[in-house]
Amino acid sequence: MVKAAFVPLAVVASATEAFDINIINGTEAPIGKFLYTTGFRTTDISENHCVGALIAPKYVLTGATCVHTSLTYSSVGSHYLSGDRDGERIKIVKQTKHPLFNHHEFDFAIFELETASKIAPVKVNFDPVVTPGSWSTVRGWGIFSAAETPSPVLLEADVKVWDNVECAKAVEPYGPLADSHICAGGADKDWCGGDNGAPLIVNKAG
């Protein structure tokens, strides 16, 4: 069974402005799979800004840094950065940040959709522990560097979950690591600007 664990992205990449974080050294995700992956747009066919995961027919879980009044549409289940070739385009009617969000912890938000999606939601992982050394996957349409444009198709990268003690040493220049953080990355694969809010997907039995 596939469940989703959601990660404050700033713990594995330097902090950037809202809407900015990208899949590094990823590959194109299979078309027609992982349809719960959701992008947010300023119009129904414009480019995605930020990523989330459909967790209920009318609700998408994403990062609090993705909350912005300009994002008025969701693109659920689309493989593409923009347009209307596939998936569903549903209006966003409400954006709610976690009440304790402070740009370091509790980087979560819920986007409510105007109508229910017909796509199957992903299951949220409520287990407080994700085993260090286990593999997980992150997906998004983010850019590869500041000089490049976003990917026109959904990308994915497999990243390894780190022990928080070791991770704290690696990310020390960017600020302290909180107990509530999950750290994943390495092997020149990661997510960084355009992929804010992207879910970290882990395979779990049960």
Domain residues for the domain of 40 are 35-122
Confidence of residue 179 (pLDDT cuts 50, 70, 90): confident
* Residue 176 forms part of a structural domain: no
* Residue range 91-100: mean pLDDT, rounded: 97
In this structure, are residues 73 and 92 in contact, taking their beta carbons and an 8 Å threshold? yes
Radius of gyration of the chain (CA): 16
Residue 94 lies in a domain: yes
* Number of folded domains that form the chain: 1
Output the pTM of the full model: 0.84
pLDDT on residue 129: 78
What is the dihedral angle through the alpha carbons of 57, 62, 68, 72, rounded to the nearest 10 degrees? -30
pLDDT of residue 42: 97
pLDDT at residue 26 is higher than 90: no
Residue 132 belongs to a domain: no
The pLDDT tens digits for 108-143 are 999 999 999 999 999 988 877 788 998 889 899 976
Residue 116's Cβ-side half-sphere holds a number of Cα atoms within 13 Å equal to 5
Residue 113 vs residue 167, higher pLDDT: 113
Q: Which of 19-28, 67-76, 165-174 has the lowest mean pLDDT?
A: 19-28
Q: Largest Cα–Cα distance in the chain?
A: 45
Domain membership of residue 156 (yes or no) is no
What tokens does 19 get? 């809407």
Range name among 108-112, 121-125, 144-148, 159-163 with the lowest pLDDT average: 144-148
Per-residue confidence band for 176, with pLDDT thresholds at 50, 70 and 90? confident
pLDDT at res. 65: 92
pLDDT value, residue 194: 53
- The CATH number covering residue 90 comes to 2.40.10.10
pLDDT over 80 at 174, yes or no: no
CA distance 137 to 201: 5
pLDDT at 154 over 80: yes
Kindly state whether residue 7 falls inside one of the protein's structural domains: no
Task: Note whether residue 84 is domain-resident.
Answer: yes
Tell me how many degrees the CA angle 21-26-30 measures, rounded to the nearest 5.
Answer: 110
- Return the pLDDT at 83: 98
CA distance 52 to 59: 10
Q: Which residue has the tokens 């850019």?
A: 143
